[in-house]
Structure 1
């Protein structure tokens, strides 16, 4: 399983593909597929049969996955897509930091 620098709840910017230039919140990280599911991006139409949850059936839109190489995390301080690095605190905890401004991306505590 591959480790990713992007976590659920992060705001990401799509840098390549059909959704290029759009931003959204990460709903799910799929490390084994090296992908993320981003809110309201890469929408797919799924045809469903009638069931208890959806008695009428029909066409349902849902988010598809976007490859990790096609997204960049948005720094809250810079408000731009940035590369991220890590910094180890004196107590041994690791923090994700913006490479541009050095601001921490994780909430400390």
Structure 2
């Protein structure tokens, strides 16, 4: 089980000035990077391909952010929070380190 999973709300703690402090939902988790909805946008130049129906031009898309540069957002405290694990009845689940509340 990973500390940050798809669908989690995260806050960017370091990186580009326009992304720092922003919140978003994780779309995809790669090995050591995450793709966050609407953050770390880059311009990708795309060639047209009429056979596939692809128009050419410049498309905006999300680029990966290293997992160490984001924290799970704790709505109760309004800040990013560290994640820990707890085992009860043979089930492993994630908790917030600051208040011990269960995440999932």
TM superposition shift of 1:4? 3.2
* Superposed displacement of residue 7, structure 1: 0.1
TM superposition outliers: structure 1 runs of 4+ over 4 Å: none
CA RMSD of aligned residues (A): 1.3
Mapping of residues 62-73 of structure 1, within 5 Å: 62-73=61-72
**CA offsets 1:12-47 (integer angstroms, 9 cap, x no match):** 00000002111100000002xx10000010111111
Please give the TM-score of this superposition, normalised by the length of structure 2.
0.89
2:11 counterpart residue number:
13
Secondary structure of 1:12's partner?
A: strand
Show structure 2 runs of 5+ residues with no match.
none
Residues 47-74 of structure 1: per-residue CA shift (max 9 Å, x gap): 11112242x3101110000001100001
Partner residue, 2:28:
28
Higher strand residue share: 2
Question: What TM-score results when the alignment is normalised by the length of structure 1?
Answer: 0.85
How many residue pairs are counted as aligned between the two chains? Answer: 100
CA distance in 1, matches of 2:22, 2:65: 12
